[in-house]
Copies of this chain bind each other. A is one copy, B any other.
Amino acid sequence: MIFSRTAPIDIIGSVQNRTDKSGVVKQPVPMKLFVVLLLFAALLASVRGYNYNTTWFETKVDHFGYANNDTFKMRVLYNEEHFNISEPGPIFFYTGNEGDIEMFANNTGLMWDWAAEFKALLIFAEHRFYGKTMPYGSKSFSSVKYYGYLTVEQALADFADFLQNVKRTWPGTAQSKVVAFGGSYGGMLASWMRIKYPWIIDAALAASAPILQFQGITPCGVYNDIVTKAFEQQGEKCVDNIRKSWIALDNKAKSGKNGASFIRDNFRICQAVFPSNYTIVRDWLYDTYGNLAMMNYPYATNFLKKVPGNPVKISCSYLKKNFTNDNDLLFGIYEAVNVFHNFSGDVACNDVENGAGDNLGDAGWNIQMCNEMVTSFCGNGKTDMFYNYTWEFTQFRANCEETYSMTPDLYKARMIFGGVDISSASNIIFSNGDIDPWSAGGVLKQLNPTLPTIIIKGGAHHYDLRAANPEDTSYVITARNVEKEYIKQWIKVN
């Protein structure tokens, strides 16, 4: 079916206007934000066990200069079961993001679900400096002279080099259209591949891709507003109690050693907790709400942690009442966050320094945040259910310089990828879930008829990329169908 659609697709109706908010400095928390971002793609960590082959592609460490002529091998997974050389279909290309590519291959069920219908060759390419694709092996993170080559532009060029090589050498693919798929940072990469290499990528599905989550484009508080919105849908009381809990926690910490002990015991924290360091617990709680919103799927998932279906609803079920004292409130909070951290009941204590698990490439992502992926977050405790904090670029920059010998560039991503000024681009679907916090930086407004936006009501983080599931909402089913029709139209499949 070929069709032309010029109006924006907005499954839930109108998109709320967002305004910036001022925040009062309470305590700078720049390093904590790392943790939030490390969860960026964590929701893909479930394994379904698809079949794929592995190959390694040799490419240059520096695609844009000749001072360093080192090469490395990029890991690539592929499945050609449905690809027919005599009647070749398209290439479905997953633009690997910040983690092991097997995790993404196993959790992007949409590509596998569509492969037969499109007769597609499936390819999943691993991002440099993640998984097993280490340009300098075990030395990769030892010096900026190695990890200095961990940038988006270089990663995109790896993919471009690989795909150009595929077209030249892989039987049957010379005329194949290429569709890029990606979720989260992978969605950013998918859209940027189409924007920067439109002769290589014919169409892109950028799911939950926060390409606008940069300085001067998206206000820093929107992310937390959306986390709050996800919880608000379970009743105002839930949000009220969470908002009050920060004061209760603060009161406990201020009450001295006994208060700190209460915090540790109440939340089953593995680490020692003192009045001076209690914010490690606070920040761990803060992250948990974002994680619950991101993985708020209608069915149980087993990612880094075992989580039930509709986890936000279950979490809020512990926060429905009026608590009469801080102790009761904080115990309710414990039960609420336990939905994420210990729903299985297997966890003896909560490790607040590893709240996101260890399947993701945090070493790499921390570096990318310190060069070009500079994203800012803040809270105000009013439009959101958190506490006042502002984004402190000065401290953030100092941390980056000290830790990585890198100075973050606030304007680079915008210069290279255009920010919101991408209306000259085409054939990219930007999909977002309306309760996914990362939709804060997503493209929600259609910039031209060939850049459709899809907003999935009640949808969590790149829900549409997941395999079809009997519990799927009608919204995600519709979204996937619309996405498929756009892609068919753009790559001329009937």
Contacts and interface: CB of A to CB of B under 8 A. Distances in A.
A427 B67 CA distance: 34
Contacts of A65: 62, 64-65, 148-149, 151, 154
A406 B66 contact: yes
B67 A145 contact: yes
Interface in A323-366: none
B148 A67 contact: yes
A160 interface: yes
A404 to B, nearest CB: 8
A153 interface: yes
Interface in A139-170: 144-146, 148-149, 151, 153-154, 157, 160-161, 164
Given A64-B154, A198-B422, A200-B415, 15 more contacts: A62-B64, A64-B64, A64-B151, A66-B144, A67-B145, A67-B146, A67-B149, A69-B407, A157-B415, A164-B411, A164-B415, A197-B415, A199-B419, A199-B421, A199-B422
6 contacts: A62-B65, A64-B64, A64-B151, A65-B149, A67-B148, A198-B424
A65 B416 CA distance: 13
Contacts of A157: 415-416
A469 interface: no
A418 interface: yes
Say which size band chain A's interface belongs to: 35 or more
Contacts of A425: 198
A134 to B, nearest CB: 15
A175 interface: no
Contact of A426 (B144, B196, B424): B424
A426 to B, nearest CB: 6
A260 B157 CA distance: 52
A68 interface: yes
A291 interface: no
Interface of A: 62-69, 144-146, 148-149, 151, 153-154, 157, 160-161, 164, 196-200, 371, 406-407, 411-412, 414-416, 418-419, 421-422, 424-427
Nearest to A200: B415
Identical chains bound together, number: 2
Contacts of A151: 64-66
Contact of A153 (B64, B148, B418): B64
- Among A65, A197, A199, chain B packs the most CB atoms within 10 A around the CB of A65
Given A148-B65, A426-B424, A199 B418 contact: yes
A426 B198 CA distance: 12
Nearest to A371: B66
- Among A196, A199, A419, chain B packs the most CB atoms within 10 A around the CB of A199
Contacts of A69: 407
A437 B64 CA distance: 29
Contacts of A164: 411, 414-415
Contacts of A146: 67
Nearest to A143: B67
A68 B198 CA distance: 29
A161 B415 contact: yes
A216 to B, nearest CB: 10
A123 to B, nearest CB: 17
Contacts of A418: 197-199
A67 B144 contact: yes
Contacts of A62: 64-65
A246 B152 CA distance: 53
Given A421-B199, A422-B199, A424-B426, A160 B415 contact: yes
Contact of A196 (B196, B200, B406, B419): B196
A428 B431 CA distance: 31
Contacts of A160: 415-416
Contacts of A199: 418-419, 421-422, 424
Nearest to A160: B415
